[in-house]
Amino acid sequence: MRRLLILVLMLAALSAGLWQLSRSRSYQLFGTLVTRVETDQPLVALTFDDGPTEGQTAALLGVLAGRGVRATFFLTGREIEAHPAEAAALSAAGHQLGNHSFSHQRMVLVRPSVVETELARTDAALRTAGETGPLHFRPPYGKRLFVLPWVLAEQNRLTILWDVEPDSDPNAGPERIARAAIEQARPGSIILLHALYPSRAATREALPAIIDGLRARGFRLVTLNELLAAGGIEPGIASSAPTP
């Protein structure tokens, strides 16, 4: 009975450890993880997850264009295929596009072939949309364990997370979202936002205040690639656009 109890406790500890590893923002077993860029320059990157979608994409583009901001969008392959015009519009407006998987499933306990397919299908959709630069990857829900980081490392790709997530609480109002983004940002921050679904009206409403507030603090808003370059981080060779 005692041995069984010890075994159960060991398994529970192992499970807890693996769960913590899967969501860690500071460590992964393989490849390069970027949560924030080390730089003294007053630069931050606005990044948006999910989409593209009809209606919300055009509205968001209008806000960003009106304030002269270029952002980075981590899109899903499934939604790019469903809304190709919206994805192309993001690229044409000068925004950077990244890979957020094809199906937006948690990629923790999956086979390498599943990861490779998710990456490849979304890469192809991103290239069709017009993205020509390195295709960085952001894991759905930020979750990864063994296989996903290993495949990304094999493909010489960066895993991109974030250090500021002002709209992580879906019930937060625009003022609270804006205040969190402005107050928590620091040089090199990667700010995670969700604004491309109808349910994320609060984030869209907060965006002008976020941009204005960050600029009032002296920050310049740049794309992820520009932020990485400021920190001397190589974008990855294998993820660059193929030579025609």
Give the pLDDT of residue 11: 39
94 beta partners = none
144-199 tens-digit pLDDT? 768 999 999 999 999 999 999 999 988 899 999 999 999 999 999 999 999 999 98
- Give the pLDDT confidence score for residue 31 in this predicted structure: 80
pLDDT at 20: 54
The predicted pLDDT at position 52 comes to 97
Please state, as a whole number, how many other Cβ atoms lie within 10 Å of the Cβ of residue 180.
Answer: 20
Give domain limits for the chain: 29-230
Cα(58)–Cα(133) distance, integer angstroms: 23
The beta-strand segments (E) located in 149-208 are: 158-160, 190-193
pLDDT in tens, the chain (244 residues): 545 444 333 434 434 454 455 556 665 777 889 999 999 999 999 999 999 999 899 999 999 999 999 999 999 999 999 999 999 999 999 999 999 999 999 888 889 999 999 999 999 999 999 999 999 999 998 887 689 999 999 999 999 999 999 999 888 999 999 999 999 999 999 999 999 999 899 999 999 999 999 999 999 999 999 999 999 998 765 444 443 3
3.40.50.1400, 3.40.30.10, 3.30.2130.30, 3.20.20.370: which CATH number matches 29-230? 3.20.20.370
Distance between alpha carbon 141 and the CA centroid of its chain, in Å? 9
Residue 147 half-sphere exposure toward CB, CA atoms < 13 A: 13
Strand partners, 44: 221
Residue position matching structure tokens 């990304």:
152
Helix 201-216 crosses helix 56-66 at what angle (to 10 degrees)?
10
Handedness of CA 170, 176, 177, 183 (dihedral sign): negative
Say how many residues make up the chain. Answer: 244
